[in-house]
Amino acid sequence: MSTLVTGIAELVTNDPSRGTGRLGLVTDAAVIVEDGTVAWTGSRRRAPAADASIDVGGRAVVPGFVDSHTHLVFAGDRAAEFEARMSGARYDGGGIAATVAATRAASDDTLRSRLRGLVAEMRRQGTTTAEVKSGYGLTVEDEARCLRLAAEVTAETTFLGAHVVPAEYAGRHEDYVALVTGPMLAACAPFARWIDVFCEPASAHAFDGDAARVVLEAGLARGLQPRVHANQLSAGPGVRLAVELDAASVDHCTHLSDADVDTLADGSTVATLLPGVEFATRSPYPDARRLLSAGVTVALATDCNPGSSFTSSMPFCIALAVREMGMTPVEALWAATAGGAAAVRRPDVGHLGPGARADLAVVDAPSHRYLAYRPGVPLARALAPDDGRPPTGS
């Protein structure tokens, strides 16, 4: 069964060999999807025949967004903490404990329905791949439970037992690291592809460089691949540790030294920027321009979580990246698609060349530029061509 997607005013392929510029733009384009995979991409006039067709009515089509950093398994909310912050309180990661308490107290069904609701909310905004972390359980049983639930919705599951040191281990960081790298890792590894750590020496709740190395190396020994939360609140060793261990991605990168930027430029670790966090914590944004000028691969992600960034919208992050971080619309869209795919080392997503997964997002506008040009307007949505149904609203 093949489906022709036509009526595409502007197609972003992210394949420069198939169109114009870095995004590989094709105007008046078509895509043929077969068995969930892109079989053909090009000018509508040259499109081969297919069994069925969908007309998107003169809209833009982009690769579905790859949100490579989220914390979707949790209960409760922290709206009051947000309000306090907007009234002058400082963010230091301490509020994570409130979400941990709510998550431990919640049933599987409560966590599952929240998780599935957020994934559906993401699809309605054009996201077709999402990484999901644990990190609000922080006991052996609760971390394993959160990852088992995450694995129901994505292959990109990340064990983040080293999110913060929970209250019952206050002043006993080493004991908690031993738990994370011992029984917790053993219980979680079957459900996780990645291992992550919040490396932030300036926070009393997080982990310094030595502890982060112990956590990541334990994960590697179990076959998990590393990714790191680093340099969010202050400069520190996290970025250099991530590159040294060939982490797929180092996330936040808000406070970087020149040596950090040089290290990223020489390595293959993606710098994932999370502007929703700076928005929601009223903090200075990372300097994307500095990273791009140095030749670093940059990804954008939402960091969707109830404390520091409760947005599931990749278009919102694109708009922030363009307005606040010095990225062009082309760079921001690339970072939210191909950049995100690089950050989870997935060659099958983030582009629409033949062989890619058929993850198309329709933008209710003639060009991808509208994603930043019309911030806050729900223009993007995931298209499921194999359904044979037209996208909502056309």
Q: Which residue reads 């699809």 in tokens? A: 123
Give the residue with the Cβ less far from Zn ion, 303 or 364.
303
From 36-44, 47-55, 78-86, 303-311, span contacting Zn ion (CB under 5 A): 303-311
- 7: nearest Cα among 356, 272, 380, 366: 366
Distance in Å, CB of 303 to Zn ion, minimum: 5
User: Is the Cβ of residue 162 or residue 296 nearer to Zn ion in the bound state?
Assistant: 162
Q: How far is the CB of 160 from Zn ion (least distance, A)?
A: 8
Nearest residue relative to Zn ion (C-beta): 303
- In the region spanning residues 266 to 295, those forming contacts with Zn ion, defined by CB under 5 A, are none
With CB under 5 A, what is the number of residues at the site for Zn ion?
Answer: 1
- Least distance to Zn ion, CB of residue 249, Å: 11
CB contact burial 139-150 (16+ within 10 A = b; e otherwise): bbebbbbbbbbb
196 binds Zn ion (CB under 5 A): no
Region of 262-270, 292-300, 301-309, 338-346 interacting with Zn ion (CB under 5 A): 301-309
C-alpha distances out from residue 120 to 116, 252, 300, 382, 388, Å: 6, 25, 20, 10, 19
Question: Could you say which residues in the range 317-336 bind Zn ion, by CB under 5 A?
Answer: none
To Zn ion, the closest distance from the beta carbon of 255 in angstroms equals 16
Residue 375's Cβ-count burial label (10 Å; 0-12, 13-18, 19+) is middle
| For Zn ion, the closer CB: 310 or 373 | 310
| Phi-psi region at 206: left, alpha or beta (left = phi > 0; alpha = psi -120 to 50) | beta
Per the DSSP assignment, residues forming a β-bridge with 157 are: 132
With respect to Zn ion, which residue has the nearer C-beta, 228 or 384?
228
Which amino acid appears at position 48 of this protein?
A: P
Residue found under tokens 């114009």: 20
Stretch that binds Zn ion, among 59-67, 90-98, 302-310, 329-337 (CB under 5 A): 302-310
Using N-to-C axis directions, what is the helix angle for 108-123 and 140-150, rounded to 10°?
40
Closest approach of Cβ 251 to Zn ion, in Å? 6
User: Diameter of the chain by CA atoms?
Assistant: 67
CB-nearer residue toward Zn ion: 69 or 357: 69
Taking the least distance from each CB to Zn ion, the nearer of 200 and 303 is 303
How far apart are CB 292 and Zn ion at their closest, in Å? 22
CB closer to Zn ion out of 41 and 70: 70
CB of 31 to Zn ion, least distance (A): 33
The angle formed by the CA atoms of residues 233, 236 and 237, to the nearest 5 degrees, is: 140
Specify the stretch interacting with Zn ion by CB under 5 A; choose among 113-121, 237-245, 297-305, 352-360: 297-305
Residue 74, burial from CB neighbour count under 10 angstroms (0-12, 13-18, 19+): buried
Q: Are strands 360-363 and 270-273 parallel, antiparallel or unpaired?
A: unpaired
Facing residues of 37 across strands?
34, 357
- What distance lies between CA 67 and its chain's CA centroid? 3
For the four alpha carbons of 152, 154, 160 and 166, in that order, the dihedral sign comes to negative
Find out whether 184 and 143 touch, Cβ atoms under 8 Å: yes
Return the exposure string of 310-349: e unless at least 16 CB atoms fall within 10 Å of the residue's CB, then b. Answer: bbbbbbbbbbbbbeebbbbbbbbbbbbbbbbbbbbbbeeb
**Quick check: 67 binds Zn ion (CB under 5 A)?**
no
Does position 303 interact with Zn ion (CB under 5 A)? The reply is yes
Least Å distance between CB 229 and Zn ion?
A: 5
**In this complex, which beta carbon is closest to Zn ion, that of residue 219 or of residue 385?**
219
- Sketch the per residue contact string, 161 through 180, with Zn ion: x for CB under 5 A, - otherwise: --------------------
Closest approach of Zn ion to the CB of residue 90, in Å: 18
Stretch that binds Zn ion, among 143-151, 288-296, 298-306, 335-343 (CB under 5 A): 298-306
Part of the chain binding Zn ion (CB under 5 A), chosen from 3-11, 300-308, 364-372, 380-388 = 300-308
Q: Which tokens in the block code for residue 320?
A: 């922030």
Q: How far is the CB of 141 from Zn ion (least distance, A)?
A: 22
Closer to Zn ion at the Cβ: 5 or 224?
224
Binding site for Zn ion (CB under 5 A): 303
